[in-house]
Amino acid sequence: MEQLVLGTKREFGTLDVKIDNSSLLFKGFSNTNVCLMTHNDFVSKVPDGFKITGVTPDCPVAVMENEDKKFYGLQFHPEVNDTKNGVKIIENFLYNVCKCSGEWKMSSFIETTIKGLKEQIGDKKALLALSGGVDSSVAAVLLHKAIGKNLTCIFVDHGLLRKNEGDEVEEIFKNQFDINLIRVNVKDRFLSRLKDVTEPELKRKIIGEEFIRVFEEEAKKIGTVDYLVQGTIYPDVIESGVGKGQTIKSHHNVGGLPEHVSFKEIVEPLRDLFKDEVRKTGLELGIPENLVFRQPFPGPGLAIRIIGDITDDKLNILKDADAIFREEIKIANLDKELNQYFVVLTNLKSVGVMGDERTYDYTVALRSVKTSDFMTATWSRIPYDILEKISVRLVNEVKHINRVVYDITSKPPATIEWE
Ligand code: XMP
């Protein structure tokens, strides 16, 4: 019988694991491999039929296997960059143990998905909430290729998008792809619901609820729809399955599923894909690169980048400032390197001087991070001369900004967004 023992020594960090490279899992490896350990308990005795194929000084069973039954157990994380050759371990498992042939290609995914959608939906009608983000965009184009005009996309433009974004989304989907798109311009409605609201979670809640309400109203105008399409991707499936821990921020673009839209079934064509695969699919479908590689943008939009209450004037200041920041990052060729970068309109006003005049205007903060999973992030080391150019442009070109600061906090302890 195997035993799980609470270790006296915790192993957190990268360690040399002594491995048995005659194992199928470690084919092509030397006899040690640097691996990431994060545990304080360990298996002290392996089950019958298993042998130990990896150890560290403090972990007697770092890897075990039963080759006949094809069971393999690792104490370390093969999936992280800190484990050397981790991908090779996973490949060995898939190719050598499971005998996978690896012939799956993105183009075959597109073909089979479109075929499957055609069969599933036939000549019925489907509805999709398009945000202009990569997931819903790819889902829209896939569905459009499968069912054409029987797909209707509703694009709720809450006015909290980045500068010109609403028009860009409309141009791409309506004109380039000829998708049946309804753009609902409801900025005033959102701003009046958000009037004097300063609490970040309340902003999210109001935006989520209002979004659903607008979507439902538009859907009702269309009449009966049979299918509701969602751009759910695999990490969403995992995250919604975990459901533990404290809510730091409610990260939902929308406030759940619309209750007052009747539909038969939900269609989630991207459910099995990771983000990079969604992007590849998008490129193969001919979606423009700037949309496919768009940095993540929160559902509540600029509302959570305006600290304190939201007004139309503040929104315009932030839109202009953010557009300048993004433009300069692109000019500096940093846009592919930085994972998320944006401007925050702080609620702070301070004294400055412009020409001979005293000013009393807003401070904006530049935020830019490098991250692979958005759960942790480090602030980006943008060169000073680029920061200076951005700062000069912001103060000169955007009225009511007289001070620019750069956020040098990583996550944790800060979060990426300020609200
Ligand atoms: P934080 O600020 O929690 O952000 O470090 C991590 C990532 O999530 C995005 N984010 C949101 N996305 N609705 C969203 O759809 C939200 O309410 C929300 N809040 C944060 C954030 O932009 C970053 O990519």
pLDDT category of residue 140 using cuts at 50, 70 and 90 = very high
Q: Is 406 in the pocket of ligand 1 (CB under 6 A)?
A: no
Query: In Å, how far are 80, 195, 235, 300, 364 from 373, measured between CA atoms?
Result: 11, 33, 10, 20, 26
User: At residue 7, does pLDDT exceed 70?
Assistant: no
- Show the tokens assigned to 100: 């996978």
Give residue-wise pLDDT tens across range 230-244: 999 988 887 665 444
User: At residue 107, does pLDDT exceed 90?
Assistant: no
Q: How many angstroms is it from 298 CA to the middle of ligand 1?
A: 5
Name the residue with the closest Cα to ligand 1, atom 14.
298
pLDDT category of residue 252 using cuts at 50, 70 and 90 = very low
User: At residue 259, does pLDDT exceed 80?
Assistant: no
Q: What is the CATH number of domain 3-97?
A: 3.40.50.880
Give a three-class secondary structure readout of 171-187.
HHHHHHCCCEEEEEECH
Cross-strand bridge partners of residue 155: 183
pLDDT at 14: 87
Sign of CA dihedral 303, 307, 312, 315: negative
Q: How many angstroms is it from 251 CA to the middle of ligand 1?
A: 6
CA of 250, closest atom in ligand 1: 17
Give residue-wise pLDDT tens across range 108-132: 899 999 999 999 999 999 999 999 9
- Show the tokens assigned to 229: 């399409």
pTM assigned to the model: 0.79
**Which 3 state secondary structure label does DSSP give 354?**
strand
Give residue-wise pLDDT tens across range 355-366: 899 999 999 999
| C-alpha–C-alpha distance, residues 136 and 2, integer Å | 46
pLDDT at 175: 94
Q: What is the mean pLDDT of residues 288-295?
A: 93
| C-alpha–C-alpha distance, residues 122 and 148, integer Å | 11
Query: In Å, how far are 30, 51, 343 from 361, measured between CA atoms?
Result: 62, 69, 16
User: At residue 255, does pLDDT exceed 60?
Assistant: no
Q: Is 300 in the pocket of ligand 1 (CB under 6 A)?
A: yes
Q: Is 112 in the pocket of ligand 1 (CB under 6 A)?
A: no
User: At residue 297, does pLDDT exceed 90?
Assistant: yes
CA of 377, closest atom in ligand 1: 5
Name the residue with the closest Cα to ligand 1, atom 17.
251
**Which 3 state secondary structure label does DSSP give 198?**
coil
Domains of the chain by residue range: 3-97, 106-292, 305-406
Domains 106-292 and 305-406 share a fold: no
Domain 305-406 adopts which CATH fold? GMP Synthetase; Chain A, domain 3 (3.30.300)
User: At residue 248, does pLDDT exceed 70?
Assistant: no
pLDDT category of residue 58 using cuts at 50, 70 and 90 = confident
For residue 303, the tally of other CB atoms under 10 A from its CB is 24
pLDDT at 11: 81
Q: How many angstroms is it from 382 CA to the middle of ligand 1?
A: 22
CA of 419, closest atom in ligand 1: 2
Q: What is the DSSP letter of 96?
A: I
Q: What is the mean pLDDT of the chain?
A: 92
pLDDT at 238: 74
Q: Regarding beta strands 151-157 and 126-129, do their DSSP bridges make them parallel or antiparallel, or are they unpaired?
A: parallel
106-292: which CATH architecture? 3-Layer(aba) Sandwich (3.40)
**Lowest-confidence pick of 99-108, 264-273, 376-385:** 99-108
| C-alpha–C-alpha distance, residues 4 and 24, integer Å | 25
